[in-house]
Amino acid sequence: MPQMLRPPSVGPIVGHTTDTSVRLWIRAADVSDLRTVGVAALYEPGQPEPRVEYFRLHREYDRTGTVDFDGLKPNTRYTARLGSISVDSIDSELIVDDQEVFDRLPPKSVWKEDFRRMDPAEAEASFTTFPSPAESSFSFLMGSCRYPGVMGESKRSDEIFQAMYRHVEQAHAADALPPRFVLMMGDQIYADKFNKIPVGRADTWREFQERYTTAFSTPYIRRLMRSLPTYMILDDHEIEDNWAQARLKDALKRDLFHNAIRAYMSYQWVHGPRNFDKRIHYSFECAQAPFFVLDVRTQRIRNDDETLQGNHLLGYPAKASAPGIKGQLDQFCDWLVEQQKRRGNVPKFVVSPGVFAPNDVGSSTDGGSSDSWPAFPETRRRVLRTIVDNNVQNVVFLSGDVHCSNLAEISFEKRNGKALPLKAFSIVSSAFYWPFPFADGDPLGFVHDSKAEKDGFDIDGAVTMHYRSYGFEQDDNYTQVTYDAGRNSLVVQNYSRKGKALNAPNELKLAKR
């Protein structure tokens, strides 16, 4: 028989959201080795009773899981409460279908009173569904790289999420355009806390699990993630510094990777869209604008030779000898072309934890020293050729990683010096918390003007990509991006760890719609 309803040990997290649906995540309360079932109640405006659903919390995924609610109304505020129960009437070693477990449970309605008695601070999530596609303007928050802190610094690493939560609440109170969601673009945990030193490095499943439960249980990030849809993608520190596929040849590194990815999929991937099967990359949309979230870490193939040939950031591309099989790069390029055909010149947001532009100084002559796009010229060239050949307008790369926020306006120039009528942009937001600004992230370590610094990227011998970067900010920060459909522009504003505007807002004028 099931026991009492317990609040989550981690969560709730509001995950993938649309104008008519939501995905909610929790980790169950810590219990003995029994089957665990999640229970969720959705409270709809104007309805006297909540909708209650059962969902599984599997032991192999650290008793984490999600529940989906469909049939919601656009741009509407909802509240949900979530908890878990233990089931001791079935042999926990048997493989049992989810529905068979649910059929042995009491009617869902029996939990309504238990939900009313639960502490909202432990079990409640509140969220607003996305606007309908007819509504164009919206904003979102973005950032990356939350170092956990050492020697009592954990409170400081959590502080920025209090500012982000207040930012959203103030926007609602002022009847302004409130942020619709948060993008966390990598290094949500630091499995290798001391990087090159093998002290405090996560190797086992339990050590990775502990990193996530610690990171996602601090008060302010928990408050933020249960009140605003949060989209995540990993970078290297969810596994190991500067991770690439070649390390899988080592048996110990292979075990480390399996533990890291199992934890990542339990705590980050599972509450996302999951629309490329069990691939880590995914896509979603808000209002009329599409987003593609790239996995630039687990599929990177890096040979580190002098020519950089054979390096692939997004996995191997398709080949003629294997018709019909497409990798991430092909799926992404197809997506760019399709979005231009379907939506015209609306912005097409591309989340890439590694920075697309600007390059770090020296990467134009030694791309192998870079941990991002300059070290993968074949991948970069394929993406840019797709943009140029198909006139894909207003591609906006969103990135983190480098502990120095900035903007870049990307242009395309023919060999004769004539500019193509194409616009693209890069917005970098990093770091949420990084206490070592003297160690990296120096604004002078990046190219500011690709023409002046001879850092243009040749696409096909006839067209060169150039960029101009500015707005560098090393302080801990997060970024708000607002798509103003009326002005046909993006407004970008950085905020400090305490929520103070760090600079005047920058407006990026898009190509005409």
pLDDT tens sequence across 170-187? 998 877 789 999 999 999
* Residue 31 and residue 121 in one domain: yes
* Residue 247 and residue 371 in one domain: yes
* Averaged pLDDT for residues 16-26: 98
* Residue 259 and residue 215 in one domain: yes
Boundary (domain end) residue, out of 128, 158, 173: 128
Boundary (domain end) residue, out of 73, 103, 128: 128
Determine the pLDDT at residue 145.
Answer: 97
Cα–Cα distance measured from residue 364 to residue 375, given in angstroms and rounded to the nearest whole number: 9
Cα–Cα distance measured from residue 91 to residue 208, given in angstroms and rounded to the nearest whole number: 28
Task: Give residue 76's pLDDT band: very low, low, confident or very high (50, 70, 90).
Answer: very high
Determine the pLDDT at residue 299.
Answer: 95
**Within-domain flag for 489:** yes
Give the pair of three-digit tokens for residue 349. 């947001």
Determine the pLDDT at residue 513.
Answer: 80
* Residue 112 and residue 169 in one domain: no
From the CB of residue 331, how many other CB atoms can be counted at a distance below 10 Å? 17
27: phi > 0 → left, psi -120 to 50 → alpha, else beta; which? beta
Determine the pLDDT at residue 86.
Answer: 86
Say if residue 33 is exposed, middle or buried (CB neighbours under 10 Å; 0-12, 13-18, 19+). Answer: exposed
Residue 76 vs residue 324, higher pLDDT? 76
User: Could you tell me what percent of the chain has a pLDDT over 70?
Assistant: 94
Determine the pLDDT at residue 305.
Answer: 64
* Residue 169 and residue 63 in one domain: no
33, pLDDT greater than 70:
no
* Residue 124 and residue 145 in one domain: no
Matching residue, tokens 């904003």: 139
Sheet (strand 64-69) strand order: 10-17, 22-27, 64-69
* Residue 95 and residue 167 in one domain: no
Determine the pLDDT at residue 149.
Answer: 76
Determine the pLDDT at residue 3.
Answer: 59
Domain holding 27: CATH number? 2.60.40.380
Range of the domain at 218: 138-509
**Within-domain flag for 121:** yes
* Residue 414 and residue 276 in one domain: yes
Determine the pLDDT at residue 268.
Answer: 98
Half-sphere exposure of 398 (CA within 13 A, CB side): 29
**Within-domain flag for 275:** yes
Boundary (domain end) residue, out of 81, 108, 128: 128
Average pLDDT, the chain: 92
CA distances 449 to 357, 408, 454, Å, are: 11, 9, 8
Determine the pLDDT at residue 1.
Answer: 46
**Within-domain flag for 5:** no
The number of distinct structural domains making up the chain is: 2
* Residue 49 and residue 153 in one domain: no
Determine the pLDDT at residue 510.
Answer: 97
155, pLDDT greater than 90:
no
Sheet (strand 179-184) strand order: 230-232, 179-184, 138-143, 477-484, 489-496, 506-509
* Residue 409 and residue 505 in one domain: yes
Question: Using one digit for the tens of pLDDT, what is the confidence trace for 295-312?
Answer: 999 999 998 666 788 899
Determine the pLDDT at residue 297.
Answer: 97
2, pLDDT greater than 60:
no
Question: Using one digit for the tens of pLDDT, what is the confidence trace for 421-465?
Answer: 999 999 999 999 999 888 889 999 999 999 999 999 999 999 999
Cα–Cα distance measured from residue 352 to residue 390, given in angstroms and rounded to the nearest whole number: 21
Domain holding 494: CATH number? 3.60.21.70
* Residue 184 and residue 37 in one domain: no
Cα–Cα distance measured from residue 235 to residue 237, given in angstroms and rounded to the nearest whole number: 6
**Within-domain flag for 501:** yes
Determine the pLDDT at residue 273.
Answer: 97
* Residue 101 and residue 143 in one domain: no
Cα–Cα distance measured from residue 374 to residue 101, given in angstroms and rounded to the nearest whole number: 51
CA distances 189 to 248, 278, 440, 486, 487, Å, are: 21, 21, 18, 38, 38
Question: Using one digit for the tens of pLDDT, what is the confidence trace for 89-142?
Answer: 556 566 778 888 888 889 998 999 999 999 999 999 999 999 998 878 999 999
Question: Using one digit for the tens of pLDDT, what is the confidence trace for 356-394?
Answer: 999 999 775 555 678 899 999 999 999 999 999 999 999
Residue 102 vs residue 153, higher pLDDT? 102
**Within-domain flag for 172:** yes
**Within-domain flag for 3:** no
245, pLDDT greater than 70:
yes
**Within-domain flag for 133:** no
